[in-house]
Structure 1
Amino acid sequence: MFDSPLLFVFPFFLLLCFLLYWAGARTSYLRRPEVEDGNAAAFDWHFFVPCRDEEAVIGTTVDRLRADHPSAHVWVIDDDSDDRTGAIVAELGETDRRVHLVRRHRPNARLGKGAALNAAYDELNEYLSEDVDRERVVVCVIDADGQLDPRALDRVSGPLGFGDPETGGVQVSVHMRNADDPRPLPDRGRLRNAFARLLVRMQDMEFSVSNAGMQLLRGRTGSVGLGGNGQFTRLASLDRIAAAERRPWQRGALLEDYELGLHMILNGDRITHIADTWVSQEGLPHGRRFLTQRTRWAQGNLQCVRYAPRIVSSRHYSGKGVLETLYTFLQPVAHLVTLALCAVMFVLLGLTVADEGAGEAFGGMLSLWPLVVGLAVVSVLPFVLWGPVYRRDRAPGRSLLVSLLWGLALWLYAYHLFPASARGFVRMLRGRNGWAKTRRNAEVVTSGPIAVES
């Protein structure tokens, strides 16, 4: 019953690809070059902060951006909020000429984050003088709850960033600032808080070391991706995309940030990742909100697969860049195929039990235990080895044992990709491309959906 080569060859192939990618990411992270600061005063900085029902956090975010980066402008896009988001920003703008409110109203609002950012791009164009050097103007997208490293502008101005005229975009690392919160859910019991603490810790570990390593590997292949938080782009690079696509941010995928990066590289601009500066955000302590967020990301990744022909034929992507990008595109597909193969194997196992008896069927499987143990070790060890790296850079006060246990938890955490990919695929098949915004931790829970994208 188990004589189909696909049942064995495909999982081994996926494991090999994963191990190669992990080795490249870990090496890139551990051997990354030292970041040299540049002159932030050589550029004009504009923060874009898209908002919808963000009264719980937006005032703090704007105040911190202005305090830490006093020469920068802050453009807050109020996407027709039902709360006081617009009023709060308007009050701040009355006393600070570098705080700008971009108001949007339905039916032209709530069309997605990309549309909101395009509105800010249009207003920035109207604000700037015609003779401004647009190569020196840099736009940075910050989440409504984002907090940017005070050193970030100097870091991204250096030779690894915009100090290189060929660099069109820079992505910085993302940290979860509530990773050390002892009670992420103050109104819940000890067990729920223990799960919430671990969930937030895994998000911080994922972004600050694992994903940073992946991005640094992409720096070697020329395929760095842009994220939705801590995304820096030259205004001239956005202009080039707008000239080719009518607008910088597209409405084609739920991952408008990653899609922007694809367009940037296709237009010949280089994107770099700087791991030694950061933007922080709140990790999600709620399992349901977390899975909803990751389902959206998986669906957006699947939607970007349509760019594969353009990437393969582009002269701006190297062979390594094409392979890395296709590997990223196909991750949700690989998860779906793996789930399908698992279902087939269980069916075949059931048929074998019915035909030959449980003893014969399970006896054959037990005879393969050395192979199973070996594969388990090879599959788990890469995750465990991220633990000491994370401890060194993000939690030096914790013990080595704790860091290894975190690495083991990261392996279990990675399995969320399978249900997220399946849910994203089903949503695509059903033509469901809208989304409810992820509720902030500080928001009061209300009934009903929250501001659904169309």
Structure 2
Amino acid sequence: MTAADSWFIVVIGYAILLAWPVSTLGLVSFAVRYVASHRKSLVAKSLAYGDATPEHFWIIVPALNEEVVVGNTVHAALGLGGPGGTLARVLVVDDGSDDRTPEVLAAIDHPRLVVLRRELPEARQGKGEALNAAYRYIAERTAEAGVSPERVVIGIIDGDGQGSRNILLEVSRMMRDPNIGAVQVQVRIRNRDKLLGAVQDLEFAAIVNACQSLRDTIDTVGLGGNGQFTRLAALLALGDAPWSACLVEDLELGLRMHLDGVGIRYTSRAAVTQQAVVDLRRLTRQRTRWAQGNLQCARYLRRLMASPRIGLTSLLEMLHYLISPWLNALVTVILIGGVSVAATGLAVGHPMPYLPTWRQLAYSGEVWLAVTLFPGFVWALVHRHRLRDESLPRLFTAALAYPVFLLLGLVATYRALFRQASGRQTWAKTERLAEEPIDAPLQIPVPA
């Protein structure tokens, strides 16, 4: 290897390392300075386009063995109110539960609660099929009542989810614009007293929030599995089964809506909370399922690139969202491989020109560590600046653990690739943690 080759490798290596903190600073700068003004322009636009404010709200709660959490979720959802005092109807899809979920639901006597029980073999075909069954029920009731599907909104709140009191009001505000067919609200973590929970809240409340806010400015907002709200009319346009068997049915639904020209918006002024997965093995399993679902959605790349409805900027962001996890995993392996080769060369007396001494290798390791830790601390400061509901010491502790969290994500990415290649599609349900009972929506802090 020549000296020129050595310098080329060094320059490329440091460029890759610095790309992450530089992009983090760019995203943070956008999130802090630009989002507020952009939201004002969206509100002005919605008022200019007329009044398509929703008048009817359904909350679907998919439930499979949710006995320890579904009672709180239903009570919280029944307490949600929309414009003019409109109250949501709650439809729980009991997807063949064999625990005490049916008994818990039967004990809730409320006129706005509907329980749709699915039995085997129809049950347990995936969350998408459960949502489709609920959607068809709501579509039938809407048609029977002679209500316009443009005025009906269906929200998805998971079995462990609880929405902020203002969630329907904020969704209605965003959907005043008739061109907006779906809204995704911010996601927060409730049990963030544990370290893994704190790291996941840092991820959702700071990083994902900033990414979704950026996508909101270029019409590429993605839908999440929890806290998505969609006009019934937009779902009807997608046929009898808008949700698929994809492992991330929410991501696929968002892609289909973008291809159909449906506007999707994101808001951080309302939130839905959920439980963190606080066991490393189960968290890895969850993230592997998400990564495998991301891989399954790669089949939409050709249609996205060919769609006349999607501009170049929006297309590039969608491609980045679908491809970046796999590029990150590949680049990480290349960097680790390069350092390993250099260390082996030093150990056997044949040093590589790009890292000729142990001192330079140690210096590179220090740079690596600093670059890896830097983004987590930046996002901790963003979290504190936006929400002010966690102390800096706790946020900095979560920032220290963030690189391990990212390493877990890389492991999940490779596991997902292996599972997809081997045709494995089945998944065990995420376990829930028992909580104190509630009978009303929580007052969840959201930014002003």
The residue that corresponds to 2:422 in the other structure is 430
The structure 2 residue matched to 1:176, chosen from 189, 207, 211, is 189
Cα deviations by residue, 1:25-55 (Å, 9 ceiling, x for unpaired): 3234213226779999842100011111111
- CA deviation after TM superposition for structure 1 residue 377, in Å: 3.8
The residue that corresponds to 1:108 in the other structure is 122
- CA deviation after TM superposition for structure 1 residue 350, in Å: 6.6
| Separation of aligned partners in 1, 2:11 and 2:215 | 27
- CA deviation after TM superposition for structure 1 residue 292, in Å: 0.9
Cα deviations by residue, 1:403-433 (Å, 9 ceiling, x for unpaired): 4443333244222221010111111111111
The residue that corresponds to 1:86 in the other structure is 102
Residue 292 of structure 2 contacts residue 419 of structure 2 at CA under 8 Å; is this kept in 1? yes
Amino acid at match of 1:145: D
Residue identity over aligned pairs, in percent, reads 36
Which runs of structure 2 are paired with 1:31-430 in the superposition (5 Å)? 31=33, 32-33=35-36, 42-69=54-81, 71-92=87-108, 95-130=109-144, 131-158=146-173, 161-180=174-193, 197-242=194-239, 246-251=240-245, 253-342=246-335, 344-345=337-338, 348-349=341-342, 352-353=345-346, 356-357=349-350, 363-364=356-357, 366-367=359-360, 373-374=366-367, 376-396=369-389, 398-399=391-392, 402-430=394-422
SS at match of 2:79: helix
- CA deviation after TM superposition for structure 1 residue 353, in Å: 4.7
Residue 335 of structure 1 contacts residue 417 of structure 1 at CA under 8 Å; is this kept in 2? no
CA, structure 1 residues 299+363, in 2 after alignment: closer, same or farther (shift >3 Å)? same
Amino acid at match of 2:176: G
Residue 61 of structure 2 contacts residue 93 of structure 2 at CA under 8 Å; is this kept in 1? yes
- CA deviation after TM superposition for structure 1 residue 162, in Å: 0.5
| Separation of aligned partners in 2, 1:309 and 1:12 | 33
The residue that corresponds to 1:186 in the other structure is none
Deviates more, 1:434-443 or 1:118-127: 434-443
| Separation of aligned partners in 1, 2:384 and 2:117 | 43
Amino acid at match of 2:32: L
Which structure 1 residue ranges, 5 or more long, are not aligned? Answer: 181-196, 444-454
SS at match of 2:148: coil
Residue 289 of structure 2 contacts residue 416 of structure 2 at CA under 8 Å; is this kept in 1? yes
CA, structure 1 residues 308+442, in 2 after alignment: closer, same or farther (shift >3 Å)? same
Amino acid at match of 2:327: A
- CA deviation after TM superposition for structure 1 residue 359, in Å: 10
Deviates more, 1:68-77 or 1:428-437: 68-77
CA, structure 1 residues 97+397, in 2 after alignment: closer, same or farther (shift >3 Å)? closer
Residue 342 of structure 2 contacts residue 351 of structure 2 at CA under 8 Å; is this kept in 1? no
**Residue correspondences, number:** 418
The residue that corresponds to 1:448 in the other structure is none
Amino acid at match of 2:430: T
Amino acid at match of 1:56: V
Cα deviations by residue, 1:350-390 (Å, 9 ceiling, x for unpaired): 76357634799964463366666556544532321111221
Residue 385 of structure 1 contacts residue 404 of structure 1 at CA under 8 Å; is this kept in 2? no
Residue 79 of structure 1 contacts residue 103 of structure 1 at CA under 8 Å; is this kept in 2? yes
Residue 40 of structure 1 contacts residue 154 of structure 1 at CA under 8 Å; is this kept in 2? no
RMSD: 3.0
| Separation of aligned partners in 2, 1:113 and 1:6 | 49
| Separation of aligned partners in 1, 2:405 and 2:421 | 26
Residue 21 of structure 2 contacts residue 374 of structure 2 at CA under 8 Å; is this kept in 1? no
CA, structure 1 residues 386+83, in 2 after alignment: closer, same or farther (shift >3 Å)? same
SS at match of 1:284: coil
Amino acid at match of 1:47: I
SS at match of 1:68: coil
- CA deviation after TM superposition for structure 1 residue 18, in Å: 3.7
Amino acid at match of 1:172: V
SS at match of 2:267: strand
Deviates more, 1:209-218 or 1:382-391: 382-391
Residue 147 of structure 1 contacts residue 281 of structure 1 at CA under 8 Å; is this kept in 2? yes
- CA deviation after TM superposition for structure 1 residue 220, in Å: 1.6
TM-score of the superposed pair, with normalisation by structure 1? 0.83
SS at match of 1:203: helix
Residue 6 of structure 2 contacts residue 354 of structure 2 at CA under 8 Å; is this kept in 1? no
CA, structure 1 residues 16+234, in 2 after alignment: closer, same or farther (shift >3 Å)? farther
CA, structure 1 residues 30+351, in 2 after alignment: closer, same or farther (shift >3 Å)? closer
| Separation of aligned partners in 1, 2:171 and 2:27 | 21
CA, structure 1 residues 322+356, in 2 after alignment: closer, same or farther (shift >3 Å)? same
Cα deviations by residue, 1:253-310 (Å, 9 ceiling, x for unpaired): 2110111101111100111110121001111221111111111111111111111111
| Separation of aligned partners in 2, 1:343 and 1:382 | 20
Of structures 1 and 2, the one with the larger relative CO (CA 8 A, separation 6+) is: 2
Amino acid at match of 2:123: A
Deviates more, 1:337-346 or 1:60-69: 337-346
